[in-house]
Amino acid sequence: MKVLQDREKKKVTIAVKVNQADQQRATEIFESLGLDLATAINIFIKKSIAGGGFPFEVKDPFYSEANQAELNRRFKKIANNQGIHSRQLSENGE
């Protein structure tokens, strides 16, 4: 019991700002699993330490298949001079 008491004494408080709706939704999800938000955050931290990084894959949506396909579609359209409009402006701005 002494070891548990020593661990509790060594805890620190971390303040994190989150969107209120996100906090409410996360609380609902974790409570449905029998956890409070602080316990869920502690689990995240422990898993991050154990794995040496995020306990899930973090991706940049720019490189998603859907976005890359859209960029390729637009590039091909430009390369084929489709959907490109240009105007010649006179030197006096008219």
Instruction: Check pLDDT > 90 for residue 16.
Output: yes
Examine residue 19 and state whether it is found in any structural domain, yes or no.
yes
Rounded to two decimals, the pTM is 0.57
- For the chain, the domain total comes to 1
Examine residue 85 and state whether it is found in any structural domain, yes or no.
no
Predicted local confidence at residue 89, as pLDDT: 78
Which domain does 26 fall in, by range? 2-79
Examine residue 56 and state whether it is found in any structural domain, yes or no.
yes
| DSSP state letters, 13-70 | -------HHHHHHHHHHHHHTT--HHHHHHHHHHHHHHHTS-SS----GGGSHHHHHH
pLDDT digits (tens, 9 = 90+) for 37-56: 999 999 999 999 999 999 99
Examine residue 38 and state whether it is found in any structural domain, yes or no.
yes
Examine residue 30 and state whether it is found in any structural domain, yes or no.
yes
Examine residue 93 and state whether it is found in any structural domain, yes or no.
no
Examine residue 92 and state whether it is found in any structural domain, yes or no.
no
Predicted local confidence at residue 24, as pLDDT: 98
Predicted local confidence at residue 91, as pLDDT: 74
